[in-house]
Amino acid sequence: MQDQRALLTATLEANRASFDDRWKSTQHTEGWFNYPTALVWQYLLCIQDILNMRGNLVELGVWHGKSLTHSLAHCRPDERHLAIDIELRDGLKSTIANSTLQDRIVFRKGRSTQPGLDADAPGPYRWIHIDAGHDKHSVLDDLKLWAPRLSEGGILVMDDFFNHRWAEVTDATFEYLYAYDHNIAPLCIGANKAYFTTKAGHRLYRDFFRGKFISEYITKHTILDYFDLCIFNFECLCFRPPLSQQHISP
């Protein structure tokens, strides 16, 4: 696994300049997507790159395309990035106007639970970002519809999980995990988002999270507060009793 980590370090370094350019190009784009989160996405998506994980990507709630830009960068020529929002704003169009990857995006205007939006970019998805309606019913409905389409080892990103301003996101996510889906479990949490993968898929990521590997990578590039530092930790798998009692593949 030392080799895998070395490969990840090399991949992150090799992609450093393009990551910096991407961040600079979206720095002033309207939205809430922050720099530590961009670093975490780069880390996780580079892991998927070196694992040669395949599948489409999807974002529910696109706004002006700030987060979309960062996941799109990892979308391969034979993959599609589904981007769903009730409104496709001018700000979104200008954000992706200069992207060389825009032909890989499938934009769909509509509610995230509307049937048929995935026709041109079907699952299973290796990356699902849920960032649309933040009330309990919206989040629960999004999870029920989209999370079962997560590929083995794919990553489900929940925006605002454990953000006290959006308590219903946390409530809905716990309800979903407890009552509807025993196939996924949390991987890590930080910088306002939580990351889940399938239980069998956990083993793929485990060594990339061992020790201080990810926190050293994050802190090398940015200053995080104590809260964020202590939660970039694989132990967060056990943060909820019903999940800790379920089996996760070693």
Ligand X SMILES: C[S@@+](CC[C@H](N)C(=O)[O-])C[C@H]1O[C@@H](n2cnc3c(N)ncnc32)[C@H](O)[C@@H]1O
For residue 34, count CB atoms less than 10 angstroms from its CB and return exposed for 0-12, middle for 13-18, buried for 19 or more.
middle
Minimum gap (Å) between residue 152 Cβ and ligand X? 25
Minimum gap (Å) between residue 200 Cβ and ligand X? 28
The footprint of ligand X on this chain (CB under 6 A) covers a number of residues equal to 19
Which CB sits closer to ligand X, 63 or 127? 63
Report the alpha-carbon distance of residue 199 to residue 180 in Å, rounded: 15
User: What binding mask, one character per residue, do residues 49-88 give for ligand X by CB under 6 A, x or -?
Assistant: -----------xxxx--xx----------------xxxx-
In this structure, what is the dihedral angle of CA atoms 56, 57, 61, 65, given to the nearest 10 degrees?
-110
Which CB sits closer to ligand X, 166 or 213? 166
Minimum gap (Å) between residue 191 Cβ and ligand X? 12
Strand segments (E) across the chain: 56-60, 81-85, 105-109, 125-130, 150-159, 184-190, 193-198
Which CB sits closer to ligand X, 70 or 202? 70
- Chain residue at closest Cβ approach to ligand X: 61
Which CB sits closer to ligand X, 111 or 149? 111
Q: Does 107 bind ligand X (CB under 6 A)?
A: no
Q: Does 32 bind ligand X (CB under 6 A)?
A: yes
Minimum gap (Å) between residue 248 Cβ and ligand X? 28
Which CB sits closer to ligand X, 172 or 185? 172
User: What binding mask, one character per residue, do residues 169-188 give for ligand X by CB under 6 A, x or -?
Assistant: --------------------
Listed as own residue / partner, the contacts of 144-149 with beta carbons closer than 8 Å and 24 or more positions apart are 144/176, 144/180, 145/112, 145/113, 146/58, 146/60, 146/112, 147/176, 147/181, 147/184, 147/196, 148/181, 148/183, 149/118, 149/123, 149/124, 149/125
Rounded to the nearest 5 degrees, what angle is found at the Cα of 219, between the Cα atoms of 48 and 162? 70
Q: Does 198 bind ligand X (CB under 6 A)?
A: no
Minimum gap (Å) between residue 112 Cβ and ligand X? 4
User: What binding mask, one character per residue, do residues 121-160 give for ligand X by CB under 6 A, x or -?
Assistant: ----------xxx----x----------------------
Backbone angle region of 190, left / alpha / beta, with phi > 0 → left and psi within -120 to 50 → alpha: left
83 phi, psi to nearest 5 deg: -135, 110
Q: Does 118 bind ligand X (CB under 6 A)?
A: no
Backbone angle region of 108, left / alpha / beta, with phi > 0 → left and psi within -120 to 50 → alpha: beta
Interface positions with ligand X (CB under 6 A)? 31-33, 60-63, 66-67, 84-87, 111-112, 131-133, 138
